[in-house]
Structure 1
Amino acid sequence: MAADTGAAAVPRGGDRRRWFGLVAISVAVALIIVDSTIVNVAVPYVVSDLDLTSSQVQWVQESYTLVFAATLLIWGTVADRIGRRRMLLIGVVVFVLASVLAALVGSGTALIGARIVQGFGGAMILPTTLSLINAGFQGRERGIAFAVWGSTIGGMVAVGPLLGGWLTTSFSWRWAFGINLPIGLLIVAGVALFVDESRSSRRERIDLVGAVLSAVTFAALAFGLIEGRTYGWWAVTKPFELGPWTWASGPSPVAVAFAVTLVAGATFVVRTLRRTAAGRPTLFRFDLFGIRSFRNGNVAAMIVSLGEFGIVLSLPLWLQNVIGYTAFQTGLVLLGLAVGSFAASGLVAVLSSRLAPPQIVRIGIVAEIVGVAALGFVIGPSTSWGAVVPCLFVYGFGVGLATAQLTGVVLVDVPVERSGEGSGLQSTARQIGSALGIAVLGTVLFTSAGARLDSGLAGLGVPESGRTAVVDAVVESAGGAIPALSRDPRTAPAAAVAEQAFSDATRYAAFTAAGFLVLGLLATFSLGGSGGPAGAGGPGGAGAGRHRPGYADRPDADAPAVT
């Protein structure tokens, strides 16, 4: 994979070397995706071993997510300046060292600290992998490379729970973090051997104030979207604990977070526009939004992300708490998604010679819609894995097509020397879309589960106080209380109602996710797609990276900012 100085990247060292480099880059993506899903499986074991409080449990998961979402744009832009391979290597080293620390900790506070450092490392890795692919591949090969990258993400979302279940049950939850050490060493060796350095010709100082404003904006937005259902959108409905400090009354911390988002975001935009006009360094230049494929592609990617992985939130809960599968068995079922995603990457080479990337994106999203909607129809208290796996395969197949090709469409007209900047914003758009999707789908899942359960218990003649206790137990535990209700003969009838209610809620969440994907499909029609196959000079085609019509045709396109 090749260096660039603002022009198109020209491969050197042979095709085989570049493809080996792609393997190393894809494994780097797999590292952060698998880790996030493994941790979700390992949390119950961590709680037991370290005696975590409920607040610490929350921050073990959320600290990583918030840092990751907040700094994607920063590290993507920095990578353009200091070198994308260098940033990828730094990110992998930071992530692995933090993982080793997490595997060795003896307290919840130390684990949260390690997860924060992991968030920085993960945010360094994700956009840099995108920018390296954008800089190192052209034409039809770029579409294939993005397909491998996208299928890795889709597949690892499903493989993570399986690996996590095996490691935590057969060995220790500490191996859920420790496994990152050997994987990280392989990545470092592969990147060092097969990936050439790539950086922008721009030599500007980093806008530190802009970086802080960006981080505050996206961290506050992600927190608000993720935690709105927990703490209340406007007024406090549950005390918010941060160390020894408790927020128990008044306006919700979520409402305050949204206010911070507006103030910090507006300040960032105004400041960036003024500094750009004055020719001073900025974290991000808004002229990228003048590129039609970049602007419309990011909108489409954000909408698609609302529903793309939403079912992964509710399906494992339903499989374990209603169907009765173990974490490992749940991982086996979710392998259907991984197999479908990897199968899609093998088909991209054929499709890319016949269809334009936006058309491949639409095929993928249609497959996602079919798979998710089918899940909505088959889910029930007695559904077998045989009915679920084919739906997940179709869904995973769609993810493998849509995620990768949509990423390629977003970046196809972005100048190579600004690949990190564009990749950082694209990754941030997807992350915010995912957070919003989780907020909406989580609300649909737990609100409808509570309502259906309360109605069913009323039909059994359970008094209001009893209904409230059962509903609260089931909803607060995300369905985890259902197996205990089933084991007690006195509460077995209530357990049956709870199983039906949680199944119905999971179905509603699936249909909601399918609805978001329909909106995402409609959004892709703003991308065009009649320009021919990728190898024929259309988006991502042979001309991509050399003549970029959405960008280079503007007279000021390549004018560097004045330091």
Structure 2
Amino acid sequence: MPEQGRGRWWGLFAISLGVATIIVDVTIVNVAVPAIIADLGVSSAGAQWVQEAYTLVFASLLLVVGRVADRTGRRRMFVVGVLVFVAASLLAASAGSGAELIGARVLQGLGGAMMLPTSLSLLNATFAGRERAIAFAVWGSTIGGSAALGPLLGGWLTTELSWRWAFGINVPIGVLVIAATLVLVPESRDDRVERGIDLVGALLSVLGMTGIVFALIEGRTYGWWESATPITVFGQDWPATISPVPVAGIGGLAALALLLAHQVRRNRRGRPALLDLSLFRIGSFRTGVTAAGIVSLGEFGLLFALPLWYQNVLGYSAFHTGLALLPLAVGSFLSSALGALLVKRWGATRVVQLGVAAEIAGIAGLGLVVAPDTRWWAPLGLLFVYGVGVGLATAQLTGVSLREVPLRRSGQGSGVQSTARQVGSALGIAVLGTVLFAGLSGLLTARLAERSDIESTQREQIVTTVRESGGAAIAGLAADPRTAPIAEDAKAAFADATRYAAFAAAGFLLIGLIACARLPRDRPEPVDPAPMPQPAASPAS
């Protein structure tokens, strides 16, 4: 039963502030990565893991957390999630190594998975009718506004104080959210939810995705097939000549195959499962979820590469990088309102297709303007177009996907859609990050090979140093007149590699657009996506 009284609106503020903390944290990390690499000596692969550790855990637990929260108490789950997130942020802020930071990000992913979907359930239980629509609008606007604020706040904190404050700022805000939630937000639960949790399914999903992502990220370090370097695992030398990369990749695929078989078995027996496979018999849902995963792969992976290019090639500070990326978040935020008007005129399916097409245009355009000496204004309009596309496609794709899903199963359907987007985002960081750094190695090697004054051993050392530093070593090369020409080669190679990543992202989005072409057409009228919006990835995550 929805609550009455003015206190629930203050409760909405507390919940929205908690959601804002998650989104701001994700977008802050994007611009803080170069500083983290420089301070902790994290390798380029480690920098990818700083992003992936959060996303993998978040995506794998979304579906499980919602069911547990419905039975044990949604406010309780939200508060525990904030507590875990705050503790993890404190650990991240005090991390002394890349491994410690990655471990803290795993815990942040756990806390975020407990907070974001539960925030929607709390709003659904607290508000009704028109007030519920207003509450969800505030929730959505919070995500958009936080995505716009995050890069600026993160850039300012990193530039003026330290990247550690990008995590540390979550602590006082989280304490405020916990206190306000306990006082202002009523507890709610649903005893009708069937007992049982598919923990085996959650474990298999974590193992499967981690194995695949490990293979994609670490292939350039350990070798794609044969071991390229001595490897120690838990204090023991890796005994085989074959690299652990194919072992992890094949193991990940095997875990996902077991996950599918496990889900089929639990669905047939009527036991609680991670996925309700009967939803995939609905054509619009099946196509929409597939399109969402593919589109997310192209959407967010590039945002790992752009801050590195801005800071290590163009020489921007973290704050100026946040300013440079602002048009993306602004475009996404503004297009949310524009999308509702366009749906009335053209229908949701066409708006989704228009949004993905705008993303392709924006990212492909970025691929054309990225260079070692790009002027500051050149990417702004393209980033805005890209952001408009993200805003148009994300919200309406949810509505189209869930249109034919029965109301009683809309929560499960929304969770699957959100998980697909998070999985796509995780794969995007892995794939496009690999395109970036593999391209950097090949391009820089080719450029240095043209220099007769550099021996092959020295050339390999330079390439490895630039690649593993994520480009941070370029500044040191540029500062020494003797190596300044090498720095120019490195900048050119890094810019070209960023262009390759942009074109690869546009290619994935093109595949997503083709998938969107199979979405069912609708009449030009507003689409009610579901009683609750999905917890989607932010425009800058």
TM over 0.5: yes
Aligned to 2:535: none
Tell me how far apart the structure 2 counterparts of residues 144 and 345 of structure 1 sit (CA, whole Å).
14
CA distance in 1, matches of 2:266, 2:166: 45
Q: Which amino acid aligns with 2:361?
A: V
Contact 1:152–1:342 (CA under 8 A) maintained in structure 2: no
Aligned-pair distance for 1:341? 1.6
How many angstroms apart in 2 are the aligned matches of 1:73 and 1:545? 17
Tell me the distance in 1 between the aligned counterparts of 2:434 and 2:528. Answer: 38
Q: Please tell me whether residue 125 in structure 1 is matched to residue 121 in structure 2.
A: no
Partner of 1:176: 166
Structure 1 residues 477, 413: closer, same or farther in 2, change over 3 A? same
- 1:208-227 → structure 2 map (5 Å cutoff): 208-227=199-218
How far 1:149 moved relative to its partner?
A: 5.8
For residue 325 of structure 1, the aligned residue among 316, 326, 331 is 316
The answer on whether the counterparts of 1:134 and 1:412 sit within 8 Å (CA) in structure 2 is no
Taking the aligned partners of 1:120 and 1:283, their CA distance within structure 2 comes to 17
Q: Deviations over 1:48-75 (max 9, x none)?
A: 8778899987765554344333323322
Matches of 1:266 and 1:295 in 2, distance apart? 18
Tell me if structure 1 keeps the 8 A contact 2:8–2:184: no
Contact 1:228 1:439 in 2 (8 A): no
1:520 shift after superposition: 1.0
- 1:33 matched to 2:49? The reply is no
Shift of 1:317: 1.2
User: Paired residue for 1:551?
Assistant: none
Q: Give deviations 1:259-317, integer Å, cap 9, x for gaps.
A: 33233333333233223323333333211212223211110011101210122121111
1:434 aligns with 2:462: no
Distance 1:82 1:214, change over 3 A: farther
> Relative to structure 2, which stretch is displaced further, 267-276 or 18-27?
18-27
Going from structure 1 to structure 2, the CA distance change for 1:47 and 1:393 (only over 3 Å counts) comes to closer
Q: Which residue in the other structure is 2:306 paired with? A: 315
Does the aligned pair in 1 maintain the 2:444–2:490 contact within 8 Å? yes
2:407 and 2:126 map into 1 onto residues whose CA distance is 9
Q: Which runs of 5+ in 1 are unaligned?
A: 4-10, 547-563
Residue 334 (structure 1) shift: 1.0
Give 1:73's match in structure 2, choosing from 51, 63, 67: 63
Q: 2:331–2:385: 8 Å Cα contact kept in structure 1?
A: yes
Contact 2:226 2:241 in 1 (8 A): yes
| Number of the residue aligned with 1:478 | 470
Q: Quote the residue 1:337 is aligned against.
A: 328
How far residue 527 of structure 1 moved from its aligned partner, in angstroms, is 1.7
Residue 386 of structure 1: CA displacement?
0.9
Match of 1:513 among 500, 505, 513: 505
Deviates more, 1:206-215 or 1:478-487: 206-215
Structure 1 residue 300 corresponds to structure 2 residue 291: yes
Please report the RMSD computed on the Cα atoms of aligned residues, expressed in angstroms. Answer: 3.8
Contact 1:39 1:164 (C-alpha < 8 Å) held by counterparts: yes
Deviations 1:432-479 (A, max 9, x none): 222322233223222333333233333443455143333223222222
Residue in structure 1 matched with residue 83 of structure 2 by the alignment = 93
Q: 1:531 aligns with which of 518, 523, 535?
A: 523
User: Could you say if the C-alpha distance between residues 486 and 95 of structure 1 is closer, same or farther in structure 2, counting changes exceeding 3 Å?
Assistant: same
Q: In 1, Cα distance between the equivalents of 2:512 and 2:131?
A: 26
Measured against aligned partners, the alpha-carbon deviations of 1:464-509 in whole angstroms (never above 9, x if no partner) come to: 5143333223222222222222222222222222222222221222
CA contact (8 A) 2:204 2:255 kept: yes
Partner of 2:441: 450
Q: TM-score normalised to the size of structure 2?
A: 0.84
1:101-180 matches, cutoff 5 A: 101-103=91-93, 111-129=101-119, 156=146, 159-180=149-170
SS of 2:374's equivalent in the other structure is coil
Which residue does the alignment assign to 1:346? 337
SS at match of 2:482: coil
For the residues of structure 2 that align with 1:526 and 1:307, how far apart are their CA atoms? 19
Partners of 2:48 and 2:429 in 1: CA distance: 15
Equivalent of residue 377 in structure 2, options 381, 386, 392: 386
Compute the displacement of 1:402 (Å).
Answer: 1.4
Alignment check: 8 A CA contact 1:80 1:418 kept: no
Structure 1 segment 393-472 matched on structure 2, within 5 A: 393-463=384-454, 465=456, 466-472=458-464
TM-score, normalized by length of structure 1? Answer: 0.81
SS at match of 1:383: coil
User: Post-superposition shift, 1:418?
Assistant: 4.0
**Relative to structure 1, is the Cα distance of residues 247 and 162 closer, same or farther in structure 2, using a 3 angstrom cutoff?**
farther
Task: After TM superposition, give the deviation of residue 523 of structure 1 in Å.
Answer: 0.9
Partner in structure 2 of residue 491 of structure 1: 483
Change in Cα spacing, 1:103 to 1:369, as seen in structure 2 (3 Å) is: same
AA at the equivalent of 1:446 = F
2:227 alignment partner AA: V
Partner of 2:528: 540
Cα distance in 1, alignment partners of residues 78 and 440 from structure 2: 43
Task: Evaluate the alpha carbon distance shift between residue 509 and residue 195 of structure 1 in structure 2; reply closer, same or farther with a 3 A threshold.
Answer: farther
Structure 1 pair 55/332, CA: closer, same or farther in 2 (3 Å)? closer
Distance 1:70 1:230, change over 3 A: farther
Aligned length: 530
